[in-house]
């Protein structure tokens, strides 16, 4: 789980599909102007290296130069901010006392599905006593265990009811540690608001709870609506001011509907500068998920989601 992609073409209707990006070389310049993103530039560079020496690129017109400027401001600068952020001396962490392994994930999953109601929480408290950090609890243990259960479900080794019971017990572990045991992560997110939701019809939304916890610990005010319909999401975003809207996507088949819904959400949003982020199971399978859905960014890591949301809004304030 690592990485982000950003998409400043998001506020426009989707006009191109992946097949268009693989068009003949004589359309390369037009394609670069139509969808000038980091991924597009890297792909164009790779193509030029594989083929014969290219002729000198034509001079960019005003529209292309403007798009290049927006690319630098919206994509490159936030990424550099994250890569080169220098932590304060007080933020330097000592070497970890506890190192999560796949064996821990297997044991936690087994206890959540097959043990009694107290087995998984008791096991996790033991790992925390051994030195497991908040990041390790949420990302390396709880999130990894939920993914492992999903894999076993896809392989027909766990039934739907077993996975549901297991995720419910992991939710209890998450709630216990969020409320009691672990310190809060504090950062520049104070006073910022985000709404998190899942694609309507999604059956398991444990990952969304993890993301909500990280935003909360980052100082954000979080409205988490895992069971909301499109109508309820639009109404909430129209009536209240949110800085970020995050959507978990579980299926590629509904992407056209999601893209349309995101356009509608932007039109009705009380915040005209709303940042739309997508994630969930499809984020690991589709690197261009944000572009396909018309979102601003894609997250496949809860902590990275908070970091980039903060960096994005800080950059927006500087350019206001």
pLDDT at residue 314 in the model: 80
Residue 270 pLDDT > 80: yes
pLDDT at residue 72 in the model: 52
Residue 266 pLDDT > 80: yes
Tell me: do 30 and 137 sit in the same domain.
no
- Domain end call among 157, 181, 205: 181
Work out the number of other CB atoms within 10 angstroms of the CB of residue 99. 12
Tell me: do 282 and 259 sit in the same domain.
yes
Q: How far apart are CA 288 and CA 299, in angstroms?
A: 11
- Give the best-scoring range by mean pLDDT among 130-144, 149-163, 204-218, 254-268: 254-268
* Token code pair at residue 125: 């408290």
Tell me: do 194 and 246 sit in the same domain.
yes
Count of structural domains, the chain: 2
Q: How far apart are CA 125 and CA 196, in angstroms?
A: 28
Using the 8-state DSSP alphabet, how is residue 300 labeled? S
Which are the contacts of 144, defined by CB distance < 8 A and separation ≥ 6?
100, 105
Tell me the pLDDT tens digit for each residue of 21-49. Answer: 444 444 433 443 444 444 554 455 455 55
Tell me: do 23 and 1 sit in the same domain.
yes
The whole-chain average pLDDT of the chain stands at 75
Give the containing element (helix H, strand E) for 74: none
**Residue that has been written with the tokens 């800085």 in this structure:** 243
In a domain, 194, yes or no: yes
Tell me: do 41 and 118 sit in the same domain.
no
Tell me: do 212 and 165 sit in the same domain.
no
State the pLDDT confidence band at 188, using cuts at 50, 70 and 90.
low
Tell me the pLDDT tens digit for each residue of 58-87. Answer: 454 566 556 555 555 555 555 545 544 444
**Closest by Cα among 216, 262, 238, 308 to 316:** 308
Q: Which domain holds residue 132?
A: 97-181
Q: What is the mean pLDDT of residues 241-245?
A: 96
Residue 243 pLDDT > 90: yes
Tell me: do 152 and 14 sit in the same domain.
no
Which are the contacts of 52, defined by CB distance < 8 A and separation ≥ 6?
none
Exposed e or buried b for every residue in 184-200, given b needs 16+ CB within 10 A? ebeebbeebbbbbbbbb
Q: How far apart are CA 318 and CA 320, in angstroms?
A: 6
Q: Looking at the DSSP assignment, which residues form a beta bridge with residue 297?
A: 6, 277
Dihedral sign, Cα of residue 62, residue 66, residue 68, residue 69:
positive
Tell me: do 177 and 138 sit in the same domain.
yes
> DSSP string of 207-220?
HHHHHHHHHHHTT-
| CB contact at 8 A, 298 and 9 | no
- Domain end call among 129, 157, 181: 181
- Give the domain CATH number at 242: 3.40.50.280
Tell me: do 167 and 189 sit in the same domain.
no
Tell me: do 77 and 223 sit in the same domain.
yes
- Domain end call among 131, 166, 181: 181
Question: What region, left, alpha or beta, does residue 201 occupy, with left being phi > 0 and alpha being psi -120 to 50 degrees?
Answer: left
Q: What is the mean pLDDT of residues 166-194?
A: 71
pLDDT at residue 280 in the model: 87
Tell me the pLDDT tens digit for each residue of 111-141. Answer: 999 999 899 999 999 999 999 888 888 888 9
Q: What is the mean pLDDT of residues 252-273?
A: 96
Which strands make up the sheet holding 193-198, listed edge to edge? 4-6, 297-299, 275-279, 244-248, 193-198, 221-225
pLDDT at residue 180 in the model: 54
């Amino acid at each position: 789980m690592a990485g982000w992609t950003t998409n400043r073409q998001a506020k426009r209707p989707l006009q191109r599909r992946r097949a268009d990006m693989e068009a003949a070389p004589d359309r390369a310049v037009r394609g670069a102007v139509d969808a000038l993103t980091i991924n597009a530039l890297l792909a164009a560079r790779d193509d030029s290296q594989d083929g014969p020496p290219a002729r000198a690129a034509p001079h960019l017109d005003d529209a292309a130069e403007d798009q290049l400027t927006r690319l630098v401001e919206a994509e490159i600068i936030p990424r550099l901010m994250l890569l080169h952020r220098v932590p304060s001396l007080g933020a330097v962490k000592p070497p970890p006392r506890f190192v999560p392994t796949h064996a821990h994930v297997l044991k936690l999953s087994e206890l959540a599905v097959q043990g009694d109601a107290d087995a998984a929480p008791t096991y996790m408290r033991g790992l925390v006593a051994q030195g497991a950090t908040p990041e390790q609890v949420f990302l390396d243990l709880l999130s990894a265990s939920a993914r492992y259960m999903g894999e076993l479900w896809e392989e027909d080794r766990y039934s739907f009811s077993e996975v549901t019971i297991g995720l419910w017990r992991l939710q209890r572990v998450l709630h216990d540690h969020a409320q009691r045991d672990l310190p809060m992560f504090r950062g520049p997110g104070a006073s910022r608001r985000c709404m998190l939701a899942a694609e309507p019809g999604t059956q398991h939304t444990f990952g969304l709870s993890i993301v909500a916890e990280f935003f909360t610990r980052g100082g954000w005010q979080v409205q988490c609506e895992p069971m909301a319909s499109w109508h309820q999401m639009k109404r909430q975003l129209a009536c209240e001011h949110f800085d970020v809207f995050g959507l978990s996507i579980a299926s590629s088949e509904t992407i056209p509907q999601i893209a349309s819904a995101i356009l509608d959400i932007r039109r009705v949003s009380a915040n005209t500068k709303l940042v739309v982020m997508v994630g969930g199971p499809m984020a690991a399978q589709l690197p261009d998920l944000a572009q396909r859905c018309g979102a601003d960014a894609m997250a496949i890591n809860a902590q990275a989601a908070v970091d980039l949301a903060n960096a994005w809004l800080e950059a927006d304030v500087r350019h206001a």
